[in-house]
């Protein structure tokens, strides 16, 4: 007897919060014979993680792994050819289960028919198998909900746009509509921001990242650092809601308005919690990355805070506490972060400003203390909780390269002239210090490290020991022990720290990944 064909379900699991999965979706997920979901090559599926609590544990799982996402491909048909071939293969895999009479649920973030990958499977299978779609809460609905702003009302027109459109097209569409949402940002973010600027709507537009999840972040669009923007983010131009006594619309650029979401951007928000009178600002060092490097004193300060403020990726390292308000922002707005922290504390809140490494070493403590010098913050207490520095962390991975006198320099010329940096670099090199070089390079700042390399070779022999520490304490940590002559500045990015040895620094060769580096405590007498 030939089994009856199985049923194909496209099931929306919503934007990220498992409690936003509909009752029907939860029932179908529990009852399905086969659970399918898409993911990039790292294998992690957002849709599956949202639905995880509904899975029985004995179901067949089909991981549909994209062969390419944003990278290039050698497929003869290019990106489009690779993706089309992938969807054909996925359809064939699911057809095997459907022909065997097994019901297949394809999990989709948000809604399956709203820019969903399920559309491609539906196109290839719906004419051959019984197929139904279960809608889910879309990302734009979630974005407006956490923002606390209506999307459209009355006769307003909403325009939904993919960020992959050319900026000129985006600007034209944004200028000609009442409200708008732009999806698919990530690498397209600079063009999206330019489009809102060109349309004259930037001041009214909000940025919402990973809405309804623990990684949620909200900020004015113009305050967001492009380097921090993931694919799962939105630009939201909401309905121009007006208060009963305020004829002007509330704007993203306007200070003093706090979204109702647990994660808030830096738009001059004023806290409502805290104790009567002035609160306190504690600048907390998180260490360079590994959770085990967070000190008990730092953990205590974070737990006691009403508000947490920091650069988005650093703030993401702090576990979410629903009692706390989180204010994430980009990496070039240190002064604004400091001002926000002090304003919140002046209103009675206990505020923790998070900083990677030690907050007093090229980090947030200086910005906070400098802002606290203003007379209006005289009643706000400021404390600094130290953290393990990146230089110490990198040194620990190879032994004791900082065992004698050393000098710490930043190669970033964002806040000081390069002439000053080069003069100090020459002096330290001539003084035969071990050097710890912070901020050696970024995607747009390359020539500084190349010039520093030239300067060092003028004062140090080519066999001088060099240690490159990348993402130390993080998931992609790597340590390279090389020499000044063999060192290639092109291998260094913004997540690296460099240690340049002195004339006495030595390497103990013990095999790949086991070399030890040390600088003797005694200096030779000349």
| Residue 314 resides in a domain | yes
Same domain, 335 and 405: no
* Token code pair at residue 391: 């230089």
Same domain, 491 and 448: yes
Phi, psi of 321, rounded to the nearest 5 degrees? -125, 115
Same domain, 352 and 306: yes
Last residue of a domain, one of 369, 385, 401: 385
Same domain, 460 and 395: yes
Same domain, 12 and 131: yes
Which residues are CB-contacts of 399 (< 8 A; sequence separation ≥ 6)? 508, 516, 517, 518
Same domain, 125 and 149: no
Domain residue limits at 132? 8-136
Same domain, 369 and 395: no
| Residue 156 resides in a domain | yes
Secondary structure string (H, E, C) spanning 385-415: ECCCCHHHHHHHHHEECCCCCEEEEECCCCC
Q: What is the C-alpha separation between 242 and 130, in angstroms, rounded?
A: 48
Same domain, 95 and 127: yes
Same domain, 102 and 155: no
Q: What is the C-alpha separation between 97 and 61, in angstroms, rounded?
A: 11
DSSP structure string for 122-177: HHHHTTTS-EEEE----HHHHHHHHHT--S--TT--EEEEETTS-HHHHHHHHHTS
Residue closest to 27 by CA, chosen among 157, 163, 134, 110:
134
* Token code pair at residue 523: 């200096």
| Residue 379 resides in a domain | yes
Q: What is the DSSP letter of 510?
A: -
How does strand 217-220 pair with strand 233-237? Answer: unpaired
Count the domains in the chain. 4
Q: What is the C-alpha separation between 492 and 489, in angstroms, rounded?
A: 6
| Residue 523 resides in a domain | no
Q: What is the C-alpha separation between 499 and 481, in angstroms, rounded?
A: 10
pTM over 0.85: no
Q: What is the C-alpha separation between 149 and 353, in angstroms, rounded?
A: 27
pLDDT for the residue numbered 71: 53
Same domain, 301 and 372: yes
pLDDT for the residue numbered 243: 44
Last residue of a domain, one of 385, 403, 437: 385
End-to-end C-alpha distance for the chain, whole angstroms: 96
pLDDT mean values, one per 10 residues, the chain (526 residues): 83 94 96 93 83 92 81 67 89 95 96 94 96 96 89 91 94 93 93 92 89 86 86 89 45 42 30 48 90 87 89 87 83 86 87 93 92 89 93 93 93 88 93 92 84 91 93 87 91 89 91 86 80
Residue closest to 207 by CA, chosen among 330, 372, 352:
330
pLDDT for the residue numbered 469: 92
At 305, which CATH number? 3.40.1010.10
| Residue 186 resides in a domain | yes
At 409, which CATH number? 3.30.950.10
Last residue of a domain, one of 204, 225, 241: 241
Same domain, 112 and 188: no
CB 25 within 8 A of CB 122: no
């Amino acid at each position: 007897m030939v089994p009856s064909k199985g049923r194909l379900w496209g099931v929306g699991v919503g934007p990220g919060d498992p409690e936003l999965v509909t009752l029907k979706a939860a029932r179908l997920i529990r009852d399905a014979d086969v659970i399918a979901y898409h993911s990039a090559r790292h294998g992690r599926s957002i849709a599956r993680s949202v639905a995880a609590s509904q899975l029985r544990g004995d179901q067949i799982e089909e991981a549909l792994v994209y062969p390419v996402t944003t990278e290039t491909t050698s497929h003869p048909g290019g990106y489009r050819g690779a993706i089309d071939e992938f969807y054909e293969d996925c359809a064939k895999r699911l057809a095997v289960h459907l022909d065997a009479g097994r019901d297949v649920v394809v999990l989709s973030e948000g809604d399956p028919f709203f820019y969903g990958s399920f559309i491609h499977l539906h196109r290839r299978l719906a004419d051959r198998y019984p197929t139904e779609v279960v809608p889910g809460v879309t990302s734009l609905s979630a974005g407006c909900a956490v923002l606390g702003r209506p999307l459209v009302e009355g006769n307003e027109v909403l325009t939904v746009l993919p960020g992959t459109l050319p900026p000129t097209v985006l600007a034209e569409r944004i200028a000609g509509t009442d409200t708008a949402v732009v999806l698919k940002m990530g690498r397209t973010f600079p063009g999206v921001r330019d489009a809102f600027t060109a349309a004259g709507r930037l001041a009214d537009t909000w940025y919402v990242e990973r809405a309804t999840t623990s990684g949620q972040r909200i900020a004015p669009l113009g305050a967001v650092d492009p380097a921090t923007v993931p694919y799962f983010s939105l630009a939201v131009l909401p309905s121009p809601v007006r208060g009963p006594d305020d004829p002007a619309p509330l704007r993203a650029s306007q200070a003093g308005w706090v979204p109702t979401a647990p994660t808030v951007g830096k738009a001059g928000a004023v806290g409502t919690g805290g104790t009567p009178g002035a609160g306190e600002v504690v600048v907390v060092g998180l260490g360079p990355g590994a959770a085990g490097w967070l000190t008990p004193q730092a953990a205590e300060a974070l737990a006691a805070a009403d508000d947490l403020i920091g650069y988005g990726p650093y703030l993401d390292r702090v576990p979410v506490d629903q009692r706390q308000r989180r204010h994430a922002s980009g990496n070039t707005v240190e002064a604004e972060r400091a001002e926000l922290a002090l304003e919140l504390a002046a209103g009675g809140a206990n505020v923790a400003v998070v900083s990677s490494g030690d907050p007093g070493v090229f980090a947030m403590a200086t910005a906070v203390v400098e802002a606290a010098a203003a007379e209006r913050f005289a009643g706000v207490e400021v404390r600094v909780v130290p953290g393990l520095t990146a230089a110490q962390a990198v040194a620990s991975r190879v032994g004791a390269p900082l065992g004698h006198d050393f000098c710490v320099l930043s190669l970033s010329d964002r806040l000081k002239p390069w002439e000053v940096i080069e003069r100090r670099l020459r002096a330290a090199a001539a003084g035969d210090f071990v050097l710890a070089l912070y901020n050696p390079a970024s995607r747009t700042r390359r020539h500084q490290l190349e010039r520093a390399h030239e300067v060092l070779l003028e004062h140090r022999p080519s066999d001088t020991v060099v240690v490159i520490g990348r993402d130390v304490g993080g998931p992609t940590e790597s340590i390279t022990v090389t020499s000044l002559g063999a060192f290639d500045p092109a291998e260094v990015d913004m997540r690296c720290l460099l240690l340049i040895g002195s004339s006495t620094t030595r390497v103990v060769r013990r095999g790949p990944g086991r070399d030890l580096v040390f600088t003797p405590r005694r200096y030779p007498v000349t």
